[in-house]
């Protein structure tokens, strides 16, 4: 598999506070990478660096070989290639589900309203949400809202999909709905970077798992290596804590 | 462990610096061109000399200044007293309008009618009604001074504006905050005082200051009642010379008066923007 996205030597500090320290990772085309780590380990900051919501303090991000972290690059055109979904859904409350999904295709990609609508409806139909097309977000359950948010992110056909703790605000039943959708997208071959606390899901879907601790990549490998044969004391502690909390 | 930036990062920072220098240069150049253009247009206008003579005459400006300065001191006094009462009444009306108890319905009704009337009525009309109407009633216990009645009119009108701003702030506080406070056992008024109002005021500080800036300049309108404030003083000077420079002097003083507050408002808004960005709203 060829490399789609590559991080080399990423460093990010907020003033004196060094959050990411020399992170280098490769994300092959079509792969699902799960990023795990305790709160404050830098997971979310890493995600925000990748879609350029944060300015790097050092290092380089290459998407299909071109440097998207160069100064003066057109951020909007890069973000069009990177779909992002957040923990808090962030659907636009004043737009219907259909309008939420068709907004970016129409405004950014200049698709006609009809084309965008046909595509959005086919996505909604595929994931069993077609009856919600004209509903406003506040009438949907959290799981439905998050699924719509994911569909909104993929409606523009991004090359990479970033999912930042997308199930953290949901109960187990709703989590299952969302994870099923993500699993199906993976089978479509969308390259995904997922930060999550759902270890069972991580095991199932991940091609590789990255464990962040204290702003560095502490350990990375296949799910079997990470979960069944952890090497570093940090990872053992983390997995032990999850185990004690009944999350593993 | 010491950290040395990579060549790449140094190049990026260099590019950033260069871009920043370039934007400064462009801003400077554009300002110069714009200023030059404006000057040429104004100076070459046919009536330029006549206008300069009757609006920007240094001799009359100097002559009128002491009297106008005395006037602006009156404006300042009116302003501070009016601001004080406007904030108190505005807050009271806003709180009255956000009550929910059925017993207080008449209070809500009165507060609503009050804001409806005074927000809609031109300030000049209120000034005439209060300043000329109340003396007409011949109530022996109400002072007839133009300054007093003018201040009352300003307070009446601006309390309505400020009440609406504060009410928007109160309603903008997330309802879950109120619920959380009530769940802790705080009473309605404790919730209002310790939880809702502090957040409400923080959210509406910029629009509130905007209203106060506006009150500052409208304090000049009490001159229509005969109070000798800066505007009135300028009028008296103009009547003697038929030169309008004194009005320009008074206007300049009003602008000088409002600039500190407007800059402070801008600064506050910027600080709030930054605080929100730091919370991850991009």
Maximum average pLDDT range among A178-182, B36-40, B186-190:
B36-40
Closest to B12 (Cβ–Cβ): which among A48, A53, A71? A71
Instruction: Determine the Cα–Cα distance for residues B94 and B194; give it in Å rounded to an integer.
Output: 16
pLDDT of residue A71: 86
Q: Which domains does chain A have, with CATH numbers?
A: 3-244 (3.40.50.300)
Nearest-neighbour CA in chain B from A59: distance (Å): 7
Whether residue B12 lies within 8 A of chain A, CB to CB, comes out as: yes
pTM: 0.72
Instruction: Determine the Cα–Cα distance for residues B199 and B161; give it in Å rounded to an integer.
Output: 19
CA torsion angle B91 B93 B99 B101 (round to 10): 140
pLDDT of residue A132: 94
**B282–A57 C-beta distance less than 8 A:** no
Taking phi first (over 0 means left), then psi (-120 to 50 degrees means alpha), and beta for anything else, what does residue B123 get? alpha
pLDDT of residue A240: 92
Whether residue A245 lies within 8 A of chain B, CB to CB, comes out as: no
**B8–A71 C-beta distance less than 8 A:** no
pLDDT of residue A176: 87
- The two counts, helices (H) then strands (E), for chain B are 12, 0
Helix/strand/coil for A136: coil
Among A130-134, A166-170, B112-116, B236-240, which is the least confidently predicted range? A166-170
pLDDT of residue A1: 67
pLDDT of residue B278: 59
pLDDT of residue B281: 40
Rounded to whole angstroms, what are the CA distances from B53 to A12, B65, B246? Answer: 62, 17, 12
Q: How confident is the model at residue B125 (pLDDT cuts 50, 70, 90)?
A: very high
Whether residue B274 lies within 8 A of chain A, CB to CB, comes out as: no
Q: How confident is the model at residue B280 (pLDDT cuts 50, 70, 90)?
A: very low
Nearest-neighbour CA in chain A from B178: distance (Å): 21
Burial (CB < 10 A; 0-12, 13-18, 19+), residue B99, is middle
pLDDT of residue A174: 85
Rounded to whole angstroms, what are the CA distances from A106 to A77, A97, A245? Answer: 14, 14, 45
Instruction: Determine the Cα–Cα distance for residues A222 and A240; give it in Å rounded to an integer.
Output: 19
- For A177-201, the pLDDT digits (tens) are 888 889 899 888 899 999 988 888 8
Q: Which residues of A43-67 are buried (b: 16+ CB within 10 A; e: fewer)?
A: bbbbbbbbbbebebbbbbbbbeeee
**B5–A58 C-beta distance less than 8 A:** yes
Mean pLDDT over B116-129 rounds to 94
For chain B, the domains span 58-278
pLDDT of residue A77: 82
pLDDT of residue B28: 96
Asked if B84 contacts B70 with a C-beta cutoff of 8 angstroms, the reply is no
- CA dihedral (A237, A238, A242, A248) positive or negative: negative
Q: How confident is the model at residue B282 (pLDDT cuts 50, 70, 90)?
A: very low
DSSP-assigned letter for residue B132: I
Whether residue B42 lies within 8 A of chain A, CB to CB, comes out as: no
Instruction: Determine the Cα–Cα distance for residues A128 and A122; give it in Å rounded to an integer.
Output: 10
Asked if A224 contacts A212 with a C-beta cutoff of 8 angstroms, the reply is no
Block mean pLDDT (10 aa), chain A, length 248: 90 90 94 92 91 90 91 84 87 92 89 94 92 93 92 92 88 87 89 91 91 93 93 93 83
Instruction: Determine the Cα–Cα distance for residues A173 and A175; give it in Å rounded to an integer.
Output: 5
Q: Which residues are CB-neighbours of A140 under 8 A, at least 6 positions away?
A: A97, A132, A148
pLDDT of residue B277: 61
Taking phi first (over 0 means left), then psi (-120 to 50 degrees means alpha), and beta for anything else, what does residue A246 get? left
Interface-testing mutation among A58, A76, A215, with chain B (most B C-beta atoms within 10 A): A58
- Check pLDDT > 80 for residue B1: no
**B12–A70 C-beta distance less than 8 A:** yes
- Check pLDDT > 60 for residue B18: yes
pLDDT of residue B73: 93
Closest alpha carbon to B70 in B263, B194, B196, B236: B236
Asked if A167 contacts A138 with a C-beta cutoff of 8 angstroms, the reply is no
Stretch 50-89 of chain A: residues touching chain B, C-beta under 8 Å = 53, 56-60, 69-72
* Residue that the structure tokens 């983390």 belong to: A238
Q: What is the homologous superfamily of the domain B58-278 according to CATH?
A: MetI-like (1.10.3720.10)
Instruction: Determine the Cα–Cα distance for residues B132 and A220; give it in Å rounded to an integer.
Output: 83
Instruction: Determine the Cα–Cα distance for residues B143 and B245; give it in Å rounded to an integer.
Output: 34
CB pairs under 8 A between A and B: 23
Rounded to whole angstroms, what are the CA distances from B67 to B212, B254, B257? Answer: 25, 15, 17
Closest alpha carbon to A69 in A79, A59, A77: A59
Interface predicted TM-score (ipTM) of this complex, two decimals: 0.71
pLDDT of residue A32: 94
pLDDT of residue B197: 92
Q: Which residues are CB-neighbours of B233 under 8 A, at least 6 positions away?
A: B64, B67, B68, B70, B71, B246, B250
Closest alpha carbon to B121 in B159, B170, B78: B159
Closest Cα in chain A to B1: A21
- Check pLDDT > 90 for residue B65: yes
- Which residues does chain A have within 8 Å of residue B8's beta carbon, measured at their own beta carbons? 58-60
């Amino acid at each position: 598999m060829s490399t789609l996205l590559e991080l080399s030597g990423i460093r990010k500090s907020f003033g004196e506070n060094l959050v990411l320290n020399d992170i280098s990772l490769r994300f092959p085309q079509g792969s699902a990478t799960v990023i795990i780590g305790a709160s404050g380990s830098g997971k979310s900051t890493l995600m925000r660096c990748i879609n350029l919501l944060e300015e790097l303090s050092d290092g380089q991000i290459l998407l299909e070989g071109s440097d998207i972290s160069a100064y003066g690059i057109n951020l909007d055109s890069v973000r069009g290639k990177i779909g992002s979904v957040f923990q808090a859904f962030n659907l636009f409350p004043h737009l219907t589900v259909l309008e939420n999904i068709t907004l970016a295709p129409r405004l950014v990609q200049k698709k006609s309203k009809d084309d965008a609508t046909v595509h959005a409806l086919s996505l909604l139909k595929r994931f069993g949400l077609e009856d919600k097309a004209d509903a406003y977000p506040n009438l949907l359950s959290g799981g439905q809202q998050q699924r719509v948010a994911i569909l909104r992110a993929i409606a523009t056909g991004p090359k990479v999909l970033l999912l930042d703790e997308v199930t953290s605000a949901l109960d187990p039943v709703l989590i299952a709905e969302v994870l099923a959708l993500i699993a199906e997208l993976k089978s479509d071959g969308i390259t995904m970077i997922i930060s999550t606390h759902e270890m069972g899901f991580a095991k199932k879907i991940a091609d590789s798992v990255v464990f962040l601790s204290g702003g560095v990549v502490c350990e990375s490998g296949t799910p079997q290596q990470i979960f069944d044969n952890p090497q570093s004391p940090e990872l053992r502690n983390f997995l032990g804590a999850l185990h004690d909390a009944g999350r593993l | 462990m010491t950290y040395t930036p990579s060549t790449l990062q140094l190049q990026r920072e260099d590019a950033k610096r260069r871009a920043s220098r370039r934007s400064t240069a462009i801003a400077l150049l554009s300002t110069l061109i714009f200023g030059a253009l404006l000057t040429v247009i104004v100076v070459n206008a046919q009536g330029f000399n006549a206008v300069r003579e009757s609006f920007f005459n240094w001799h009359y400006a100097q002559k009128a200044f002491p009297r106008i300065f005395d006037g602006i001191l009156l404006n300042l006094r009116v302003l501070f007293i009016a601001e004080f009462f406007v904030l108190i009444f505005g807050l009271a009306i806003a709180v009255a309008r956000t009550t929910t108890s059925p017993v207080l319905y008449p209070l809500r009704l009165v507060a609503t009618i009050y804001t409806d009337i005074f927000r809609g009525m031109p300030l000049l009309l209120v000034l005439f009604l209060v300043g000329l109407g109340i003396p007409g009633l011949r109530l022996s216990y109400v002072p007839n001074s133009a300054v007093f009645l003018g201040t009352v009119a300003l307070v009446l009108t601006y309390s309505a504006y400020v009440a609406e701003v504060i009410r928007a702030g109160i309603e903008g506080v997330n309802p879950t905050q109120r619920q959380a406070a009530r769940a802790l056992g705080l009473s309605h008024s404790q919730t209002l005082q310790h939880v809702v109002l502090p957040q409400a005021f923080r959210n509406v500080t910029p629009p509130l200051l905007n209203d106060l800036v506006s009150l500052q300049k409208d304090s000049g309108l009490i001159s229509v009642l005969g109070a000798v404030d800066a505007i009135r003083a300028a009028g008296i000077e103009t009547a003697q010379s038929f030169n309008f420079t004194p009005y320009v002097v008074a206007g300049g003083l009003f602008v000088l008066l409002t600039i500190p507050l407007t800059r402070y408002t801008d600064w506050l808004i910027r600080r709030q923007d930054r605080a929100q960005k730091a919370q991850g709203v991009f």
